[in-house]
Amino acid sequence: MAVAIPPFDRPRANGAELKYPVIESTLQQANVLLVGNPNAGKTTLFNQLTGMRLKTANFPGTTLEVRRGALVIDEFEHHLYDMPGLYSLHAASAEEATALEVIRKTASVGECVVILIVDATNLVRNLFLAGQVLELGAPTVVALNMIDLSRRAGTRIDTEVLARHLGCPVVPLCARSGEGIRELKAALGEVIANNRAPEPPLLLRNAERPTHALRYDWAERVVESCAEYAADPFAKRTEAIDRVLTHPVSGIAVFASILFLVFYLIFSLATVPMDLIDGAFGSIGDWVSRMLGDGLLSGMLVDGVIAGVGGVLVFLPQICVLFFCISLLEDTGYLARAACLMDRVLRPFGLPGKAFVPMLSAHACAIPAIMSARVIENRNDRLVTILVLPLMTCSARLPVYAMITALLFPASPLQGALVFTGAYALGIGAAVCMAWVFRRALVRTETAPLMIELPDYKMPSIKTALLAAYDRGFVFVRKAGTVILCISVILWWLMTFPQTEAPSDIGGAAASQYTLEHSFAGQLGKTIEPVIAPLGFDWRIGVGIIASFAAREVLVSSLSVIY
What is the spatial distance between Cα 76 and Cα 67, in angstroms, rounded to a whole number? 20
pLDDT at 3: 31
Tell me the pLDDT tens digit for each residue of 214-267. 888 899 999 999 998 876 656 677 888 899 998 989 998 998 888 788 877 877
Do residues 312 and 368 lie in contact, with contact meaning Cβ atoms separated by under 8 Å?
A: no
Tell me the pLDDT tens digit for each residue of 155-185. 899 999 999 999 999 999 999 888 999 999 9
pLDDT at 33: 92
What is the spatial distance between Cα 316 and Cα 274, in angstroms, rounded to a whole number? 8
pLDDT at 116: 95
pLDDT at 543: 84
Q: What is the mean pLDDT of the chain?
A: 80
The whole-number average pLDDT for the span 121-128 is 90
What is the spatial distance between Cα 108 and Cα 111, in angstroms, rounded to a whole number? 8
What are phi and psi for residue 174, nearest 5 degrees? -125, 105
What are phi and psi for residue 503, nearest 5 degrees? -55, 155
Burial grade of 320 (CB within 10 A; 0-12, 13-18, 19 or more)? buried
Highest mean pLDDT among 50-59, 109-118, 180-189, 337-346 belongs to 180-189
Query: Does residue 16 have a pLDDT over 60?
Result: no
What is the spatial distance between Cα 232 and Cα 142, in angstroms, rounded to a whole number? 24
pLDDT at 465: 85
CA distances from 107 to 61, 116, 357 (A): 16, 13, 34
Query: Does residue 204 have a pLDDT over 60?
Result: no
pLDDT at 14: 35
First to last CA, the chain: 58
What is the spatial distance between Cα 271 and Cα 263, in angstroms, rounded to a whole number? 12
Burial 331-370 (b: 16+ CB within 10 A, else e): bbbbbbbbbbbbbeebbebbbbbbbbbbbbbbbbbbbbbb
Q: How confident is the model at residue 62 (pLDDT cuts 50, 70, 90)?
A: very low
Query: Does residue 27 have a pLDDT over 60?
Result: no
Query: Does residue 468 have a pLDDT over 90?
Result: no
What is the spatial distance between Cα 56 and Cα 411, in angstroms, rounded to a whole number? 51
What is the spatial distance between Cα 43 and Cα 52, in angstroms, rounded to a whole number? 10
What is the spatial distance between Cα 265 and Cα 269, in angstroms, rounded to a whole number? 5
The whole-number average pLDDT for the span 280-289 is 91
The whole-number average pLDDT for the span 123-136 is 90
Burial grade of 239 (CB within 10 A; 0-12, 13-18, 19 or more)? exposed
Ranking 8-12, 29-33, 232-236, 396-400 by mean pLDDT, the lowest is 8-12
Residues 6+ apart with CB under 8 A from 31: 2, 4, 5, 78, 79, 81, 106, 111, 112, 113
DSSP 10: P
pLDDT at 326: 82
Residues above pLDDT 70, as percent of the chain: 85
- Radius of gyration over alpha carbons of the chain, in Å? 28
How many helices (DSSP H) and strands (DSSP E) are in the chain?
Answer: 27, 9
Q: How confident is the model at residue 500 (pLDDT cuts 50, 70, 90)?
A: confident
Do residues 480 and 314 lie in contact, with contact meaning Cβ atoms separated by under 8 Å?
A: no
Q: Cis omega before residue 498 (within 30°)? A: yes
What is the spatial distance between Cα 59 and Cα 52, in angstroms, rounded to a whole number? 20
What is the spatial distance between Cα 354 and Cα 341, in angstroms, rounded to a whole number? 10
Query: Does residue 18 have a pLDDT over 70?
Result: no
